[in-house]
Amino acid sequence: MKTTKYYISFLLIAVMVLSAQNRRTLEPAPDRSEGDGPYKRLIIRGGTLIDGTGAPPRGPVDIVVEGNKITRVASVGIPFIEIDEESRPKDASYEIDAHGMYIMPGLIDLHVHTGGVPKAPEAEYAYKLWLGHGITTVRGVPFTNFDLSLSEKERSAKNQITAPRMFSYHRPGSGSDDWKGGSVNDPETAKKWVRYIARKGADGMKLGSYPPNIMAALLDEAENQNLGSTAHLAQSGVAQMNALDAARLGLGTVTHFYGLFESMYEVNDVQPWPVNMNYNDEQHR
């Protein structure tokens, strides 16, 4: 009997600990304590450039970055021939030797979530993972909860944390405690919510496959507020809103590819589901 009591007590404690962990929110990144810059005039010297336009690599080049902007890409020679130092850009406040290396623009990841308990409870982990793989700009859809997403975006913009440049997109109906409009179920509330997130500093919306009248209201007001848009056009709603339907209403991008293939049908709107189709089974999607 005593053993049973101890076992039950242990289970109760374990449940309480797990519940407390699940209630924890994502831990914000610590204040930046590493790294330098931006510099008044940074010059990256002697690398081979892949510029991302589809052009072939070229080099050696010297790249001049003033403040936080590339102001010049100077060709300084040809491979295997000594570089004429007199012809190179001068007056660097800081230099990086890139001879024998390749240089390319930072990668942009258009669909990220920062994480959370239990997988990645610290935002710093995700930020440094992205940076370590060359990703310098991310679009959170969303990163995490509404308030923390926007505060981390602001800290990144101010160079207060070690993180990529952050763009914060949010789902309709989300917000701080001062959002009193509830879920977005009609065009009027849709437009009200878009104006709300614009005031809060969001960059755009992460939409679903909404009915046409609500989708039109969201995208119309987003254009008025200069906000971006992306959508997960889930198969649960794709019959009323596929990728082509949404694009005609002004949608900027589609994520997960849902809604794209359905928009290519000529004589029907949805896939020929098998008789045992179950949307909750990921393998059926």
Confidence band for 11, pLDDT divided at 50, 70 and 90: very low
Among candidate residues 103, 120, 137, the one where a domain is terminated: 103
Shared-domain flag, residues 139 and 217: yes
* Domain-located, residue 13: no
Q: What percent of the chain has pLDDT over 90?
A: 79
Amino acid at 155: R
Shared-domain flag, residues 79 and 144: no
Among candidate residues 64, 81, 103, the one where a domain is terminated: 103
User: By C-alpha distance, which of 71, 51, 75, 44 is closest to 61?
Assistant: 75
Average pLDDT, the chain: 90
Average pLDDT, stretch 174-185?
97
Average pLDDT, stretch 90-101?
96
Shared-domain flag, residues 124 and 222: yes
Confidence band for 146, pLDDT divided at 50, 70 and 90: very high
Shared-domain flag, residues 231 and 158: yes
Shared-domain flag, residues 277 and 244: yes
Shared-domain flag, residues 250 and 234: yes
Range of the domain at 217: 107-284
pLDDT greater than 90 at residue 101: yes
Question: For residue range 116-141, what is the model confidence (pLDDT) as tens digits?
Answer: 888 889 999 999 999 999 999 999 99
Q: Which of 3-12, 61-70, 101-110, 163-172 has the lowest mean pLDDT?
A: 3-12
Q: Who's near 226: CB < 8 A, 6+ residues apart?
A: 198
Average pLDDT, stretch 55-68?
95
Total number of domains constituting the chain: 2
Shared-domain flag, residues 52 and 187: no
Question: For residue range 193-242, what is the model confidence (pLDDT) as tens digits?
Answer: 999 999 999 999 999 999 999 999 999 999 999 999 999 999 899 999 99
Shared-domain flag, residues 252 and 181: yes
Confidence band for 34, pLDDT divided at 50, 70 and 90: confident
* Domain-located, residue 1: no
Shared-domain flag, residues 253 and 137: yes
Whole-number pLDDT of residue 1: 52
Helix (H, G, I), strand (E, B) or coil at 56: coil
Shared-domain flag, residues 183 and 264: yes
Q: What pTM, to 2 d.p., does this model score?
A: 0.86
Shared-domain flag, residues 96 and 120: no
Shared-domain flag, residues 87 and 114: no
Among candidate residues 88, 103, 118, the one where a domain is terminated: 103
Take residue 184 and report the two structure tokens written for it. Answer: 């977005």
- The phi, psi pair for 244, rounded to 5°, reads -70, -40
Please give the C-alpha separations between residue 186 and each of 12, 192, 205, 213, 214, in angstroms, as whole numbers: 44, 10, 16, 8, 6
* Domain-located, residue 269: yes
* Domain-located, residue 167: yes
